[in-house]
Each structure stands twice: as C-alpha cells, then as structure tokens.
A and B are shown apart, each in its own frame.
Chain A
C-alpha cells in the first residue's frame, strides 16, 4: 500500500482546498453579479417587477342618507396578441357580442399581426372573466380604475364624471378631484451608497369618501317634475335648485336636459355644463325681491310706503313701462311686488340711489361666485357705476332683473337670505368628508348679514301676500308659501328675442320657518311664456312632494305644537 508522506498529503489537501475555494468564489461572485446587474434574473419576473405603480382607489360619493351615488370599480382594457391567433374569424365571432363591437372591426384588428392590439377599453369584470375562460394566451385583460354611477343620470349635473384617465370633470368629481383621487403608491428598485439593491415602497393612499347634502329622494322628485315640465311646455330646458335656507345646504339640483355619466364618452359635451352654476340668465321680476328688500333695509321705503304708478317712468333717458302696459295709480309696496310692476321697481331703485342699490347687490352676492363646491362656477355679469359699460338707465332696468346676468344659484342664495332672516349663506353640496376612520364635518358658513331680520320678516309677509293674491298657481293648501315669479326676455345681439322668454319662480316653504327654498327656471317655453303660469305650478308640484318627504306638518298643526 502506497503511503503518502506528510508533505504529499499537505500538498494534495492544499490543492483540493484551493479547488473548492475557487468553486465557492465563482458561485459567490456570480450571485453578487446577478444581484447587482440583473436583479430580476435572480427572482422570476412574475414574482416582483423592480418598479411598479399602485393606483389608489377613488373615493365613493354618497347622498345625505348614505345612498351610493358614485362608486369606484375595476374595469378592464381588453387586448389581443394577433400573432398567436389561429382562427381570427372564429375569435371575432365570439368576441363581437361580448364586447359589443362590430365583428368586422375586430377581424381587421386581429389580422393586423404583431404582439398586441387593443380591442376595447373599460370592459366589466364579468365580461372579462367570460372571455378569459376560453381566450387565455390570446386575449389579455389589463385592469384599470373605473367609475360607476349606479343611479345613472340622477344628479349628473352635481356629480360630474371621471374620464378614462381617472381625472374628475365637472361637479363634485371635478371640484374634489384631488381628494377623491387619492395618491398612487409605488415600488422602486434603488441602490444604497454601497451599491446594494433595495426596494423603496409607498402604499397607495385611497381617495376620501364624500357625503353630499343632496337627498336622492328629493333629487328624484325634482328631476321627474322638471323633465315633465320641460316636456309639457315644449321648453328648451330647465333648472331647479332646492336649498336649506338656514344652512345653505343644497338638497337637490337638477338641470334638463341631462346625461348619464356612465356614458360620458358618447355624450354631447354641452350637457356636461351645470346650468345652475355655470350658466347665467337675466332673472326678471324675481329680482324685485332683492330690490325691495334692499330699499327696505336702507330705509328708502317702508312696508306702508306707496308710490304713484302712472304706467311709465324714465330712468337715464330710457322709458320703463309695466309689462301689462297698465297704470296702477297709488300703489302699495306689497302690491308692487304682487303685481310685479316694473315702474314701481324702478321707482324704488332710483329712490335708493345707484351707490346704495349696487352696494346691496354686491352684499347679496351678485357679480361674484357664491363659493359653492362645484366645478366651473361663473360669477355672472353685473355692471356697476364706474364700469365703462354701465349706463344710468341700468339702475332702472336692473331693478326688475333686466340688463344683468346672474346664475340660478346666486338668485336662490339671495332669496334664501330673505327667507332665513337676512343671512347670506355659502351654498355647499358636501357635508362630510370621510377618510378611513377620520370624519370631517363641513359646517355651514355665514357669508354676511345682508338685511336685518325685521326687513326679512316684512319681505316674507309681502311674498306670502303675492302668492295668496296673484301667484296662486304656487299656493299650497294649508301651507304659507312665500314666492315671486319672473318672466325674463332672452338677450340676443342687438336687443332681446321678441318670441322667447325664461319663466321662473323662486320661493320658500313654510314661509314662517322655511324648510327649503327653491328656484324653478323653465328655459324658452313654447306653449306659455309667463313665470306665473309655467314655473309656479312646477314649484307647487315639487314643493308639495318635498313637504311630504320631509314630513313637514301643515301650518295649523305646527302652530298648535308650539
């Protein structure tokens, strides 16, 4: 037996150790190399890509009772790999009904060749699942954040919509886009100073949930009645806003025609505009409420004041006449309001004086945005002394709501200020913001005291008198209604359209303790033209239903309970 010498043993052992060390060194070097240079080769790329963005979930929108109005959802962009398609005709046949796309279009796309062709965006999970059951390997489904409005067109002008790029437009979606959208999370592969790879990770912050002041039941009642009124009067459109005058909370807001935000992509873009805040109109005689209230508050007139109505008045060289063309003689302020006399309104505004009159209009919030939390609000158009366009005759015409443009919301805020004792409230549609467990209540905001409570009370009595005596179409049995109608002309280049009008009615119920104030506007009615005959009945119809919904007892019952 060959016996190794100690020297030989050491040499061989050393050689073996060196070989083993070399192998270990190579393995370690390779591991380090792979980790540094090709991190994704170390881990299967299906497990974790080095970089990723995690989209946040958009917040939901609820009405004041917690009914869902807008919800986040996941939709899928469906695509195909044409080079893997064996039978394009058969595939197009199967896809066409599921994707609701023309077969020929799909066939053209599938025959294009290449690695990927998009077939349809925004497909529901159910459709995606049924396609992937048989289309695995050929069809791909890419999840995308989506938005669903389960009540379809209900409150569309308040809600707005979310685009395919997850951006909110119009309404609440536009105004609160940043809060609703949340913040995307990410994962990013970076290296430290020693060159070691590590992942930076930030979880996505989901969007907040919004609870609106809107009551979906009231909204439904309002939308139904408005649609019926527009149809009955063969009108171009209409607007109704219902507000809680005590808080400025908007209870319902409807525009007609409307649209379904689920189908915003195939909707006429002009319908996206909320006419209650983004359009303005000449308010007509409803504006006399503001004129009379201002003059009463300034002390220029008193409830017992009278003036002599001879059928016309000249202001700034312009002759102003009553719409009826009749002279009423000695007339009380209450009758001026009830009969809606332009001459009387101009008499009052000139008695008040331009400086005071326009100061009051500003105090009522005209010519500036109300600050409502809805996207794209416009300030209206109010010319004041000192402006180049202002003319002395504006003092007369503005007094009965001509020659100035206001938004429907501005008009209702002013009427609500009269109804609630003289406080101008900031209108709002969001009452509560909920972020996980944190609830932020948005309290009502008083803008300013516009008129004294005493004057507000006197105005209410005059408006009740107007409804009881002349505007009886708005009267509701067993409830005192305070209100005023308006019929305004439609301005066109060079004057006013002689054939078209905007009929409106604004008021609040019950007059002594209003639960809601409401403005009804019917745009260009064709069968009748007057606010008194077109808008007042709509006001009554809606108000009656809202009183039932809100369980407001008749005045006599309320009086006996006090």
Chain B
C-alpha cells in the first residue's frame, strides 16, 4: 500500500514538472485543442442522435404505412366474407342446387353413442367399476337393441313425430 502511494506521487510530480516546463503559448494551444475536441465530440453526438431519430422516424413511418395497408386488407377480406355470406346469395345458391322450402318437419329422437341406462337413472349416473368392453366398439344393431330394451323397461319415449305432427 505504501509503495503504491509513492508511485502515484512520483507520476504526479513528473506530470506537474512537464506541464510547468511548457511555455504559456503551448499551454494555450493545448487548451484550444481540448476545447475543439470537446466541441467536435458534442457535434458528433448531436448528429448521431439526430440521425438515429431520423432513422427511427423513417421506420415508424414504414410501420404506420404497413399497418394501414394490413388494416385495409383485413377490412377488405372481412367484407368479402360478408358478401359471400349474404342470405340472398345463399338462398339463390340453394335454389340453384334444387333445394326448396321444407313441406313438413319431422322431429326424431337422436340416439347418442353411449350405453342406455338399463337399470334406472341412479345406476346410469354411477361410473362402471370395470369396463371390459368399450361401448363405442359395440356394433350398431347391438346398441339399437339395447335402446329398444331400455325403452321397453323404462316406458316408451316418443321416438319420432309423424309428418305434420
């Protein structure tokens, strides 16, 4: 620690001596040069900042214009979709395909792809303890038979509404 202090004081002494040795004119010249460097540095920084801002503005302008274009294109697509979805157009297309107004509507019961509650609702709500055969693998006729059996056990449910009724 002591040797470090000695080294520093030695270098300060040397610099002081060197400056003292310079003439007054040279010293003035150095000051002017330092000032010049400082001003140049400031001007450089200013110009760098200005050009950076200008570049950012240019980028921003590009983004704004891109955003405008994208929005315009998006609106155009939305409108195009809306035009295609217009009801008179769909109606006309349906007529061209030979479709017409329904004369009567028949409501039928839809049998869902799941086992019918054979032994009442309470049983049906409980999950099975084990399921050796996946019900979805049962063939259609077997499911239909189960459903009919369930209907017979639980009482009949309207399975189809007759035409007009």
Contacts and interface: CB of A to CB of B under 8 A. Distances in A.
Question: Are A and B physically bound partners?
Answer: yes
Interface of A: 6-7, 10-11, 13-14, 17-18, 20-21, 24-25, 27-28, 31, 35, 42-43, 47-48, 57, 60, 67-68, 71-74, 125, 143, 148, 150-151, 154, 216-217, 220, 477-478, 548, 553-554, 556-557, 560-561
Given A17-B32, A28-B46, A478-B164, A47 B79 contact: no
A150 B82 contact: yes
Contacts of A74: 68, 71-72, 75
B47 A31 contact: yes
A562 B36 CA distance: 96
B121 interface: no
B164 A47 contact: no
B99 to A, nearest CB: 14
Which 3 A-B pairs give the minimum distances between C-beta atoms? Answer: A150-B82, A560-B158, A10-B25
A336 to B, nearest CB: 32
A7 B23 CA distance: 10
Contacts of B161: 553-554, 556-557
Contacts of A220: 87
A225 to B, nearest CB: 13
B40 interface: yes
Interface of B: 23, 25-26, 28-29, 32-33, 35-36, 39-40, 42-43, 46-47, 50, 54, 57-58, 60-61, 68, 71-72, 75-76, 78-79, 81-83, 85-87, 102, 105, 107, 157-158, 161, 164-165
A67 B85 contact: yes
A21 B75 contact: no
Nearest to A52: B64
B25 A7 contact: yes
Contacts of B61: 47-48
Nearest to B64: A54
Given A150-B86, A554-B107, A28 B39 contact: yes
Contacts of B46: 28, 31
B58 A71 contact: no
A27 B79 contact: no
A114 to B, nearest CB: 29
6 contacts: A17-B33, A21-B39, A24-B43, A28-B43, A31-B46, A47-B54
Contacts of B43: 24, 27-28, 31
Most A CB atoms within 10 A — which of B46, B78, B107, B157?
B107
A35 B165 CA distance: 85
Contact of B75 (A6, A11, A13, A72): A72
A60 B78 CA distance: 10
Nearest to A125: B72
Given A71-B82, A73-B75, A478-B164, A10 B157 contact: no
Nearest to B46: A31
Contacts of A13: 29
Most B CB atoms within 10 A — which of A35, A150, A154?
A150
B107 A557 contact: yes
A477 B164 contact: yes
Contacts of B68: 74, 143
Contacts of B105: 548
A47 B57 contact: yes
A18 B32 contact: yes
A19 B81 CA distance: 71
Nearest to A477: B164
Given A10-B26, A21-B35, 13 more contacts: A10-B23, A13-B29, A14-B28, A24-B40, A27-B43, A28-B39, A72-B75, A143-B68, A151-B87, A216-B87, A477-B164, A557-B107, A557-B158
A67 B102 CA distance: 24
B36 A17 contact: yes
Nearest to B84: A150
Contact of B57 (A18, A25, A48): A48
Given A27-B43, A31-B46, A71-B75, A151 B82 contact: yes
Contacts of B81: 68
B75 A68 contact: no
Contacts of A48: 57, 60-61
A28 B47 CA distance: 10
Contacts of B165: 477-478, 554, 556
A72 B76 CA distance: 10
A14 B23 CA distance: 14
A13 B26 CA distance: 10
A115 B33 CA distance: 55
A35 B102 CA distance: 76
Contacts of B42: 28
A215 to B, nearest CB: 11
A180 to B, nearest CB: 15
A73 B39 contact: no
A332 B85 CA distance: 52
B33 to A, nearest CB: 7
B108 to A, nearest CB: 9
A20 B39 CA distance: 11
A25 B43 CA distance: 9
A173 B47 CA distance: 50
Contacts of B164: 477-478
A556 B160 CA distance: 11
B87 A217 contact: yes
A25 B85 CA distance: 69
A143 B65 CA distance: 12
B156 to A, nearest CB: 9
A201 to B, nearest CB: 9
Contacts of B107: 553-554, 557
Contacts of A27: 43
B50 A42 contact: yes
A162 to B, nearest CB: 14
B145 to A, nearest CB: 22
Contact of A71 (B39, B78, B157): B78
B100 to A, nearest CB: 13
Contacts of A43: 54, 57
Contacts of A67: 82, 85
A151 B88 CA distance: 9
Contacts of B87: 151, 154, 216-217, 220
Contacts of B50: 31, 35, 42
A68 B28 contact: no
A27 B46 CA distance: 12
Nearest to B164: A477
